[in-house]
Amino acid sequence: GQQVMQIPQYQHVQEGEDFTTYCNSSTTLSNIQWYKQRPGGHPVFLIQLVKSGEVKKQKRLTFQFGEAKKNSSLHITATQTTDVGTYFCAGPEGGSEKLVFGKGTKLTVNP
Amino acid sequence: NAGVTQTPKFRVLKTGQSMTLLCAQDMNHEYMYWYRQDPGMGLRLIHYSVGEGTTAKGEVPDGYNVSRLKKQNFLLGLESAAPSQTSVYFCASSYERGRFFTGELFFGEGSRLTVL
């Protein structure tokens, strides 16, 4: 079945540094979604990307969808302690309603 | 609106016992999902449903059964619990944006299950 790979698995940064997590799919995706899970919490939807080459921004967060619609990235500029958590990407498997998640990137921020 | 509600939030079982996790959503969503989350493994899809009366297998369906008798409820059953099923279980729901096009997932707060 489809695999959604996410790297890195862990990232530790100093507050104010930038952070990027990458998501790669073994197949072309119709869309990709990103979620954030705070420690002890549940995943919360951040954004959905649909178009090839799409770039969307939410304040300090920048999301990109690759031209081939097989990869995506999330970049955080000038991290803050509130950015701590695990970031997941998710894509539909084989054009179905089955949403498959990457293993996530756990971000820790040192104040 | 309560959103997605999971019960119970915590449960300890002995090997071989059975139990049912209940997920209820009040957003009139068509799609509902059950995921399990284990350290370092991310979120793995167990079963999902695209509408009342329908269910389908996800990535890790073995040892679990589900039912969607009412649109707002999605039940996850463990007939004979095993220690390997110790995990945090998340239910999620979403609206349908189009054929094979899932909207954003709304997650419940999770149910932590321990099997001894």
**Is a pLDDT exceeding 90 seen at residue B41?**
no
Q: What is the C-alpha to C-alpha distance for residues B1 and B82, in angstroms, rounded to an integer?
A: 35
* pLDDT of B37: 97
**Is a pLDDT exceeding 90 seen at residue A106?**
yes
Confidence tier at B99 by pLDDT (50, 70, 90):
low
* pLDDT of A24: 96
All structural domains of chain B: 4-115 (2.60.40.10)
* pLDDT of B3: 95
* pLDDT of B105: 93
B102–A92 CB contact, under 8 Å? yes
Q: What is the C-alpha to C-alpha distance for residues A36 and A101, in angstroms, rounded to an integer?
A: 12
* pLDDT of A7: 96
* pLDDT of B98: 64
A42–B102 CB contact, under 8 Å? no
Give residue A26's Cα distance to chain centre: 16
All structural domains of chain A: 4-110 (2.60.40.10)
* pLDDT of B40: 81
**Is a pLDDT exceeding 90 seen at residue B1?**
no
User: Where on the phi/psi map is residue B50: left (φ > 0), alpha (ψ -120 to 50), or beta?
Assistant: alpha
Which of A1, A99, A102 is closest, CB to CB, to B105?
A: A99
pLDDT digit string, tens, across residues B43-60: 999 999 999 999 999 999
* pLDDT of B17: 97
* pLDDT of B96: 75
DSSP bridge partners of A106: A10, A86
pLDDT digit string, tens, across residues A27-76: 899 899 999 999 999 999 999 999 999 999 999 999 999 999 999 999 99
B105–A33 CB contact, under 8 Å? yes
- Residue among B104, B106, B109, B112 with most chain A CBs within 10 A, to mutate: B104
Mean pLDDT of chain A: 94
Kindly give, in sequence order, each residue whose CB lies less than 8 Å from that of residue B35, ignoring residues fewer than 6 positions away.
A101, B43, B44, B45, B46, B58, B89, B90, B91, B92
Positive or negative torsion for Cα A42, A58, A54, A14: negative
- Which residues of B4-108 form beta strands (DSSP E)? 4-7, 10-13, 19-25, 31-38, 42-49, 56-57, 65-67, 73-78, 87-94, 96-98, 101-102, 106-107
